[in-house]
Amino acid sequence: MKNSYIKTLKIKNVIHLVISFLILTNSAFASNNQDKPNFLFILTDDQAYTAMGNAGNHQIKTPNLDQLAASGTKFTHVFNQGSWSPAVCAPSRAMINTGRNLYHTGMKDKSIATQARPEHPLWGETFKNAGYDTFMTGKWHVSRQALLRSFTSGKAIHEGGMTYDHYNATMVNLDEKTHQLSAPYPSKKHTSELIADAAVDYLQQKPKRNDAPFLMYVGFLAPHDARQSPQSYVDMYPGKNINLPKSYLKQNTVDQGDFWVRDEILLPIPRKEEPVKQFIGEYYAMITHMDAQIGRILDSLESSPYADNTIVVFTSDHGLAVGKHGLLGKQNQYDHSIRAPFIIAGKGIEQGKVSKGNFYLNSLFPTTAELAGIEVPATVQAKSIVPLLSEQGMSDQKSGLYDYIYGSYRHYQRMVRTDDFKLIYYPMIKQTQLFDLKNDPEELNNLAADPNYHEQLVMLQSKLIDLMKELDDPLDFNAPAQSFKKAGYAIIPWRKNDKRLN
């Protein structure tokens, strides 16, 4: 009996030790989770860097984005590296989610719907493997395979391109338990509202689900056309009250290649003032409506247990012309289309700071990984901007990662810029533009033929060649269409009878 009691006591002691160990381990794990920052990533579609009140645009109302900028750090010069497709958003998202450069994402036109190279760890996938709960809502536009690799759950996900109807977009959910996608269903309400609903619901339900840190990927479809928003928001921006941009032109001065891509035919060419004003007003209405939905998400975060331990990053996939240079879309290399808004706020981020940046959107992956203490995969090519977030980085007058910024659009355009000058070259028509950005920020006066700027022209031409080699740009200026096609990229123009390809 005594031996039996002692044996039972020993078993109880062992069980007690095991339970104590588990409690301590779980407590340490919970503590580690609390030390890990959460991330709320908000990505808009087609939002120009000037389309916010905090960018000095006094015509548009974006109170929530303005408050976010005031509570964090805003970078003014953040760039989309380019596109091999008329749908510029697809390559941009491929770069964001791989952290790789334009021609190294492994996602070309024909493969984007089905593939994501397994040897390239994805942003969400890397965080998920590091113990993060990864959640997706809104526009994805990379591939289903990449979606499933990246996220543990998702709601109101728009997988592909645009349906051009914000009230009837096709959505799917990603079930956390089965890791299967639901049958497609219609949004039945404005996409901005539905996506905000999903994000708010995630934040409210998260404490009941697990204590893992999270990465939320919230991809709005707005302000991409169709220009649909509630009438009350449209009424805020009557066309008669809208000022035309300083760089408004009836028609662009050069044939940039895809001049008849669908973005450009949303209004007649040459442009007329009144339709352009109305077009801008409808664009602003979508952004203000979306800003209200972003406010709902930020309010939910503020009232959650995660308010003090979450880093919010806001940006867009690229900019948009919306009447500037006689253009409407993003298939060009002017600043209004290659630059994106960028705000980062939250734990450890300087408040009320404004800096230049001079980096690409693919820096998002390594930056957030470094902030989370996650090892950045060797396949990531982009640089982290963490050094720019320090006071020392802020005090640097340039406050930028790169002295030279590269840009590319299909086989039609190549670009290189510094803080002072920009060169755009059009290989198909052998035409060059050179702009003095300090004295001509609207990029209206082409100085390429001015002998006073010959030195800057030659320097940038040389630097463009260097960057093309560095980034493995497959384009051969002597045979642009043929070399691009040989590299596996589509060269079919929107106008399929383009005789320049013959």
Reported in sequence order, the residue ranges of 152-305 that DSSP labels E, i.e. its strands, are 153-158, 170-174, 185-186, 214-219
Q: With 70 as the cut, is the pLDDT of residue 112 above it?
A: no
Q: With 70 as the cut, is the pLDDT of residue 176 above it?
A: yes
45 and 106 share a domain?
A: yes
pLDDT of residue 170: 96
pLDDT tens by residue, 460-491: 999 999 999 999 999 999 999 999 999 999 89
CATH code of residue 466: 3.30.1120.10
Give the whole-angstrom CA distance, residue 234 versus residue 95: 34
271 and 249 share a domain?
A: yes
* Mean pLDDT for the stretch of residues 16-23: 39
- The DSSP call for residue 501 is G
Residue 8 lies in a domain: no
375 and 453 share a domain?
A: no
Q: Which residues contact 21 (CB under 8 A, 6 or more apart)?
A: none
CATH code of residue 114: 3.40.720.10
* Mean pLDDT for the stretch of residues 196-225: 97
Identify which of 236, 287, 211 has the alpha carbon closest to the alpha carbon of residue 54: 287
269 and 382 share a domain?
A: yes
Domain end among 339, 367, 395: 395
Identify which of 64, 124, 97 has the alpha carbon closest to the alpha carbon of residue 317: 97
Count of structural domains within the chain? 2
Residue 337 lies in a domain: yes
pLDDT of residue 473: 98
> Any long-range contacts for 197-202 (C-beta under 8 Å, 24+ apart)?
197/156, 198/137, 198/138, 198/155, 198/156, 199/137, 199/297, 199/300, 200/296, 200/297, 200/300, 201/155, 202/135, 202/137, 202/153, 202/155
320 and 447 share a domain?
A: no
pLDDT of residue 396: 54
pLDDT of residue 399: 60
390 and 293 share a domain?
A: yes
- Least reliable range by pLDDT among 30-39, 132-141, 208-217, 453-462: 30-39
pLDDT of residue 23: 35
Reported in sequence order, the residue ranges of 373-430 that DSSP labels E, i.e. its strands, are 405-409, 413-417, 421-426
Residue 324 pLDDT level (bands cut at 50, 70, 90):
very high
Identify which of 45, 80, 162, 87 has the alpha carbon closest to the alpha carbon of residue 494: 87
Q: With 80 as the cut, is the pLDDT of residue 500 above it?
A: no
Residue 243 pLDDT level (bands cut at 50, 70, 90):
very high
CB distance 230 to 289 below 8 Å = yes
Domain end among 359, 376, 395: 395
pLDDT tens by residue, 143-173: 999 999 999 999 999 997 666 799 999 999 9
Cis peptide before 91 (omega within 30 of 0): no
Domain limits at 105? 37-395
In the chain, the percentage of residues whose pLDDT exceeds 90 is 82
Q: What is the mean pLDDT of the chain?
A: 90
Q: With 50 as the cut, is the pLDDT of residue 502 above it?
A: no
458 and 334 share a domain?
A: no
pLDDT of residue 107: 82
Q: With 50 as the cut, is the pLDDT of residue 358 above it?
A: yes
Q: With 70 as the cut, is the pLDDT of residue 33 above it?
A: no
Query: How many degrees, rounded to 5, is the angle at CA 473 between CA 404 and CA 494?
Result: 105
Domain end among 326, 360, 395: 395
Q: Which amino acid is at 363?
A: S
258 and 352 share a domain?
A: yes
CA contacts within 13 A on the Cβ side of 38:
22
438 and 480 share a domain?
A: yes
419 and 365 share a domain?
A: no
State phi, psi for 283 to the nearest 5 degrees. Answer: -65, -45
Reported in sequence order, the residue ranges of 11-55 that DSSP labels E, i.e. its strands, are 38-44
Q: Is residue 455 packed enough to be buried (19+ CB in 10 Å), middle (13-18) or exposed (0-12)?
A: exposed
Q: With 70 as the cut, is the pLDDT of residue 373 above it?
A: yes
208 and 320 share a domain?
A: yes
Residue 100 lies in a domain: yes
pLDDT tens by residue, 378-419: 999 999 999 999 866 555 546 689 999 999 999 999 999 999
State phi, psi for 90 to the nearest 5 degrees. Answer: -65, -55
pLDDT of residue 17: 42
Q: Which residues contact 110 (CB under 8 A, 6 or more apart)?
A: 488, 490
Residue 115 pLDDT level (bands cut at 50, 70, 90):
low
In the chain, the percentage of residues whose pLDDT exceeds 70 is 87
299 and 158 share a domain?
A: yes
Cis peptide before 169 (omega within 30 of 0): no
Give the whole-angstrom CA distance, residue 124 versus residue 221: 19
Q: What are residue 314's DSSP bridge partners?
A: 42, 343
497 CB neighbour count, 10 Å cutoff: 7
pLDDT tens by residue, 42-56: 999 999 999 999 999
